[in-house]
Each structure stands twice: as structure tokens, then as C-alpha cells.
């Protein structure tokens, strides 16, 4: 599959999805959002890919937001498909069985911050900047920012960022729990690849079940969430990876998990 605004680099057993619009700081237009959905759907179906990295082209930006040039003169009915497409792509990312790590190499603002929050983890360069600046345009976040941000950092801090529209540093993003790790910019991709390869070596079925249990149980009551966990736990017993993992532990050897 060929893409106009993305680079999809498959380096078995991982893949790197790069938003490639450096002249506009990798800003998202409707075409790019659609391509992201197609790319992640394609990678979900590729058995050679077991973990995915999402990043932005160049050193300045991961994704610096939506392409504001597409906003001018638009009406509410015309912009609804843009927001809906963004929601659809984020849900594809969250619901797919393979882990996605955002390697945030620069600005992650607006839609860029929102896309990063749809990833399982966020690794940031120490030069990265985060924010939901839509309020400065007379808007609010429209690709999940009012919802995922609060779930990650708490409602009070999310309100501060959404209401104020200010940018924060990578270190501050780490302090509030928005990112998992901060690395020197020159080491970001090396460290992200290293972790992605570790994930790719884990049993893929168990990873899928862990992701499903955590995503779908998070907003439920504890009793209902534990029921989700129980079902996902039980599903692990239907896969040969469990027998292999137990045997490897008992025999004191490295497990040879299925590559599916």
C-alpha cells in the first residue's frame, strides 16, 4: 500500500509509521487522518509486525496539530467528518491487538497530542512540547482530547491544559503522567525501538488480551472490570503460548512463543 502523507517502514518484527508532512510540521488534514487509519488496519493484519512505533518526520514535530488551513470558511456539518474520522482512527489504534508506542520527537499539539494519547505508551524527546491549544482558536479538542487527557492525567490538570491552551515541556508531561519516558532527542528512536523489540518478543496473544482487558475494563465498575479481566485471562489458556511459557519456566529455558 502506498501513502502520500505517511512513511510505513516494516522492520520485522516492528513497524514504524511516520507522519511525513514536514513543511507543515506534520499537521493533520483529512487525507492524512484517513491514511493513518488505513496504515494501522494494514499493520494489524500483517503477521510479521508485532509492535508499532508512531512518529513524525524531521526534528521539529511529532504532529503539530490539525492543518488549520482546512478550517477556514468551513461550517459545522463540513467539519464533523474530520472529527469523526479522527475518533475512528484513534479507536482503531486503541482496539488493535498490537502495542503502539508514540516516539514524540517535537511538537505534539492539538490533534498530535490526541493521536499520541491513542497509543499505548508515549516516549518523548527532551525537546518535545505538548498541549491542547484549540481554545486559542475558539475551539475545543475534537479528536478525543477532552476525554483521553483527563483519563491519563486527571480531570484537574486536563482542565488546566484544555482551558488554558498552553504548551508544556516533555519533563512536565512526564511529571503529570502524560508520557512514560523522556530521552535526549538523539536517543529517542534508539530507545523506542529497543522497547518495541522487547514487546515484539513477548507472546502476542497475551499482549492482545492484556490490552483488551485494560482498555475495556478501565471505565467500568471494579466488579465488571474484573469480569473482563477474568474472560481475557481465560482466553490465554486457549493459546499454545501458555503451555510453551509454562514449560519454558519449568525447564529453565527461553520460551519460543508463536509468531502470530
Annotated active-site positions, please?
114, 134
Give the Cα separation of 81 and 70 in Å (integer): 13
Backbone angles phi, psi at 181, to 5 degrees: -145, 150
What lies within 8 Å, CB to CB, of 235 at 6+ separation is: 205, 209
Give the Cα separation of 122 and 106 in Å (integer): 12
3-state secondary structure at position 28: strand
Residue with cell 478501565: 218
Tell me whether strands 121-125 and 129-131 are parallel, antiparallel or unpaired.
unpaired
Element (H, E) at 172: helix 170-175
Residue among 28, 17, 181 at smallest CA distance from 110 = 28
How many C-beta neighbours within 10 Å does residue 7 have?
Answer: 13
Give the distance between the most distant pair of CA atoms in the chain.
Answer: 67
Amino acid at each position: 500500500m502506498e501513502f502520500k502523507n505517511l512513511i510505513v517502514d516494516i522492520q520485522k518484527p516492528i513497524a514504524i509509521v511516520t507522519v511525513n508532512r514536514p513543511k507543515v510540521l506534520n499537521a493533520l488534514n483529512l487525507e492524512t487522518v484517513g491514511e493513518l487509519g488505513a496504515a494501522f488496519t494494514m499493520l494489524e493484519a500483517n503477521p510479521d509486525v508485532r509492535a508499532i512505533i508512531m512518529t513524525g518526520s524531521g526534528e521539529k514535530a511529532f504532529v503539530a496539530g490539525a492543518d488549520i488551513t482546512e478550517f477556514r470558511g468551513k461550517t459545522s456539518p463540513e467539519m464533523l467528518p474530520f472529527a469523526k474520522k479522527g475518533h475512528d482512527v484513534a479507536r482503531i489504534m486503541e482496539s488493535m491487538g498490537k502495542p503502539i508506542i508514540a516516539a514524540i520527537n517535537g511538537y505534539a499539539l492539538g490533534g498530535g497530542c490526541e493521536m499520541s494519547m491513542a497509543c499505548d505508551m508515549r516516549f518523548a524527546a527532551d525537546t518535545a512540547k505538548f498541549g491542547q491549544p484549540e481554545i486559542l482558536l475558539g475551539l475545543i479538542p475534537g479528536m478525543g482530547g477532552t476525554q483521553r487527557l483527563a483519563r491519563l492525567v486527571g480531570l484537574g490538570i486536563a482542565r488546566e491544559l484544555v482551558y488554558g491552551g498552553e504548551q508544556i515541556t516533555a519533563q512536565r508531561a512526564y511529571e503529570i503522567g502524560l508520557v512514560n519516558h523522556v530521552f535526549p532527542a538523539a536517543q529517542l528512536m534508539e530507545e523506542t525501538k529497543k522497547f518495541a523489540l522487547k514487546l515484539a518478543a513477548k507472546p502476542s496473544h497475551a499482549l492482545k488480551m492484556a490490552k483488551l482487558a485494560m482498555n475495556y475494563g478501565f471505565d467500568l465498575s471494579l466488579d465488571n472490570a474484573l469480569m473482563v479481566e477474568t474472560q481475557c485471562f481465560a482466553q490465554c489458556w486457549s493459546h499454545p503460548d501458555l503451555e510453551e511459557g509454562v514449560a519454558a519456566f519449568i525447564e529453565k529455558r527461553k520460551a519460543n512463543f508463536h509468531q502470530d
